[in-house]
Each structure stands twice: as C-alpha cells, then as structure tokens.
C-alpha cells in the first residue's frame, strides 16, 4: 500500500483560520479608527467651547514697570502637555496655557493641529523669560527649541508679547516660579 500524499496549500481548516484572523483584524482596525475619531471629535468640541477642561488660574508678567495679568490653563501632565491648545479655533486675549515641565530641561514645541498662531514664551526656573518665539506658524510640525534648559513655556495669542512690550528678562509671576 502506498501512503496518501499529504495535502499542500490551503486546506479547509487553514482557509477558515486565515479568514477568521483577517476578519478579527478588520474588526479591531474599525474599532481603533472609530475610537480615535470619537476622541478627536470630543477634543475638537471641547476646544470650540473655549477650553480643554483645565481650570483657569492667574498669572502676571512684570514688564518695563507694567503688570500684565492673564488667566492661564496649567498643563502639568504628559497628556495635557501633548494636547496643549490643539484644535482650538480661538482663545480670549487675556488667556493662555502654561506648560510645566517640572524641572529645567531642553524643550521643543510644535504646532501640529493648532489652528491659532501663538507667541511661545520660554521661562527659566526663577520666572525670568529666556526667549520668545513670536507668531508661530499654525499646524506646523517644525520644532521650536527653548535653546537652553527651561522650566516652562507660556503660550499666548500671537502678537501679545509685541503688543504689550514683553521681552526676554521680564519676570513671570506664578506659584510655579519661586
């Protein structure tokens, strides 16, 4: 007697397994896409309502003998810093966002999914402004470096620093800077 040759290629069992795995990967892909879309829509809706859910607190900049008062959102967590001011269509003139990096470090920022131009104010641990990147390009992935280790970055509406005469060496007054 001769042994039957073993079948090669796709048998019914293998075909079923391939189809089942393909189906499960499709379901997982659709689920991930749907959840990412819902998260983006939720963030965009939150942004259009005027905020990302962070509470507002006072911050003052002492510049040339004048005090400029702002209400800022404080981004302390990785998630808050990553989201920043993304998806917002506008921001009131007296508001901004302060990114707390918890310790001095080199910082690089970008404008991905940010629809409003900003002034980025790079702040040393003692509250002195190191440098200002004015009028950033919206939706740009170009990195904007602090140049030196900084403790925080304050984002304000584009043109605010120039309009108010805020410049490097001015002091930011906030409990973060002691």
pLDDT tens for each residue of the chain, 178 residues long: 566 666 666 677 777 777 877 777 877 777 666 655 666 555 555 544 445 567 899 999 999 999 999 999 999 998 998 899 999 999 999 999 999 999 999 999 999 999 999 999 999 999 999 999 999 999 999 999 999 999 999 999 999 999 999 999 999 999 999 7
pTM given for the model: 0.71
SS3 at position 13: helix
Contacts (Cβ under 8 Å, ≥6 apart) of 150:
101, 104, 105, 106, 107, 122, 123, 124, 125, 130
Measure the CA–CA gap between 54 and 116, rounded to whole angstroms: 18
CB environment 68-107: b (16+ within 10 A), e (fewer): bebebbbbeeeebbebbbbbbeebeeebbbbbbbeeeeeb
Measure the CA–CA gap between 15 and 41, rounded to whole angstroms: 39
């Amino acid at each position: 007697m001769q042994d039957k040759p073993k079948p090669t290629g796709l048998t019914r069992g293998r075909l079923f397994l391939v189809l089942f795995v393909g189906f499960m990967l499709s379901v997982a892909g659709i689920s991930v896409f749907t959840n990412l879309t819902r998260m983006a829509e939720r963030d965009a809706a939150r942004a259009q309502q005027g905020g990302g859910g962070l509470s507002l607190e006072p911050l003052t900049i002492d510049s040339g003998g004048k005090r400029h008062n702002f209400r800022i959102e404080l981004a302390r967590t990785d998630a808050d810093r990553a989201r920043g001011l993304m998806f917002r269509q506008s921001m009131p003139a007296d508001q901004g966002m302060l990114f707390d990096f918890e310790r001095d470090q080199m910082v690089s920022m970008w404008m991905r999914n940010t629809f409003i131009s900003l002034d980025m104010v790079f702040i040393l641990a003692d509250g002195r402004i190191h440098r200002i990147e004015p009028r950033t390009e919206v939706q740009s992935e170009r990195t904007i470096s602090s140049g030196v280790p900084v403790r925080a970055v304050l984002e304000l509406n584009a043109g605010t620093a120039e309009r108010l005469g805020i410049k490097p060496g001015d002091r930011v007054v906030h409990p973060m800077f002691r």
